[in-house]
Structure 1
Amino acid sequence: MKEYKLAQSETRFAEMIWRHEPIGSGELVKLCEKEMEWKKSTTYTVLKNLCEKGIFQNQNAVVTSLLKKDEFYAKQTRRFVEDTFGGSLPKFLTAFIGGKKLSDRQAEELKKLIDENRG
């Protein structure tokens, strides 16, 4: 699985792009200057890095995502479960629930999800 680890500032920047895409690179520079107090060079450097990671593209001065927000966070979550729990979803859920009781609704949602994705 490709590595998509991002620094906090990169994540904030990515969120901004996802909210506004497609966005002109000049408009993105202005937005970053206003919201993140970044200089033009910082915006283009971070954008270049995220394009190299395969998350965004900047074609004809228009920035769009190659990896949608939901796909990005799904990959991050799978990587976390792999790294932290050896890929074991039951171990992850046990840690996540942490001795708390699931509501009937939560339990039903999990059962439905398991049934839908059973191999």
Structure 2
Amino acid sequence: MKYYKLAETEEKFAELIWQNEPIGSGDLVKLSEKEMNWKKSTTYTVLKKLCKKGIFQNENAVVSSQTSKDEYYAKQSIRFVEDTFGGSLPKFLTSFISGKKLSNNQAEELKRLIDEHKEV
């Protein structure tokens, strides 16, 4: 997946789609009007923009995702670690847990995740 940083309103709109997909474009217009106070033209303009980015598709008046919510947020997290901590996951974790104590369950879960993703 390519990296896309969505504006706050685009992200809110994307959340509406992810929560309701697949959704008819007409229903999306109504939902956007109700939830975001958007006009039809605004909904279609932003939808077209997000479709061009490869996040959603609008085929036969049905809107669905090409990039899942989990994929999108995973990429945002990776980008944050790269930009803020030079891509160092240990530096990120050290910063994240500094001053906190992990429960035994949290520590075991982290160990399990590390073992699952360790290069062999």
Q: Secondary structure at the match of 1:102?
A: coil
Q: Secondary structure at the match of 1:58?
A: strand
Residues 1-119 of structure 1 mapped to structure 2, 5 A cutoff: 2-119=2-119
TM-score, normalised on structure 2?
0.96
Query: Given residue 64 of structure 1, which amino acid in structure 2 is its aligned partner?
Result: S
Q: Secondary structure at the match of 2:3?
A: coil
> How far 1:12 moved relative to its partner?
0.7
Root mean square deviation of aligned Cα: 0.9
Partners of 1:63 and 1:2 in 2: CA distance:
20
Query: Given residue 69 of structure 2, which amino acid in structure 1 is its aligned partner?
Result: K
Alpha-carbon deviations, 1:17-64, whole Å to 9, x = none? 001100010110010011100000100111011111110001111000
Partners of 1:85 and 1:14 in 2: CA distance:
27
Q: Runs of 4+ in structure 1 displaced over 2 angstroms? A: none
Partners of 1:22 and 1:33 in 2: CA distance:
18
Query: Given residue 80 of structure 1, which amino acid in structure 2 is its aligned partner?
Result: F
Structure 2: stretches of 5+ with no match in the other structure:
none
TM-score, normalised on structure 1?
0.97
